[in-house]
Structure 1
């Protein structure tokens, strides 16, 4: 979905996603963050995608997690909205912190061929785009506050 900006007649692409997290298996402490690899762009990012016509942003975010990772999630607090230019068009992406539903299994698909669960520091290092790194910090702050 997109929104036309009357000031400059540019269409903003509207999208939503989640910073998906879990407590690591095997009884270790801390948390892990899911990153997806998109072969089309050869990048590592958080699960996200464009809103469908009439779709609520949170519903889109949960749908995109399911489509890109095969996992369910429990959304939590809303994280900062990112604004950037992608492929020559402005893009607005709303994000939520979301805990992964346990015991779900990733199956590679045409949009996402790999999924990694990484501790926050490693996730920051693996993310392709600087703006995605800010969401790791926002997630940690949100989880500390809860």
Structure 2
């Protein structure tokens, strides 16, 4: 059995006025919308890798919260395992790159509808159960 590709990411969120917004990234190589995530470096801690990927792909620093469900799927015939955390955006500015050319901040229902992979959608529901009530 082949060892899974190890990856990590975050469901990045922020509060605007009285609503929560979710950050989705667009990757031109795959023409897809997803949560920020990526492969872990050898020996890298999963949470550290998730926060690194958020910073690299969105330009934002993030405050990690609750660990969310792990998503497992096959990528090019090889198992892939992505560990996710809820993470509140703590500031930053997006700059387009070859890897990520756009980010969108959307209400949860719109973000859920835009996600390319169905297995990424339940992560939004999991996030919403962990968020503190608005101040």
TM bucket (normalised to shorter chain) is: over 0.9
* Structure 2 counterpart of 1:22: 14
Which structure's CA Rg is the greater one?
1
2:85 to 96, 99, 107: 96
Q: Where does the alignment leave 5 or more consecutive residues of structure 2 unmatched?
A: none
1:130 aligns with 2:122: no
* Structure 2 counterpart of 1:70: 59
Q: Where does the alignment leave 5 or more consecutive residues of structure 1 unmatched?
A: 1-8
Query: 1:5-16 maps to which residues of 2 (within 5 A)?
Result: 9-16=1-8
- Measure the CA separation in 1 of the matches of 2:94 and 2:132: 28
- Measure the CA separation in 2 of the matches of 1:88 and 1:141: 33
Structure 1: 4+ residue segments shifted above 3 A:
none
- Measure the CA separation in 2 of the matches of 1:18 and 1:105: 17
Give the drift of 1:144. Answer: 5.3
1:109 aligns with 2:97: yes
1:56 to 45, 55, 66: 45
- Measure the CA separation in 1 of the matches of 2:103 and 2:55: 12
Give the drift of 1:11. Answer: 2.5
2:69 to 72, 80, 85: 80
Give the drift of 1:143. Answer: 1.3
Q: Deviations over 1:79-135 (max 9, x none)?
A: 001111112110000000000013x21100111000000000000010000110010
Q: Which has the higher contact order (CA 8 A, sep 6+)?
A: 2
> Normalization by structure 1: what TM-score?
0.88
Determine helix, strand or coil for the equivalent of 1:100: strand
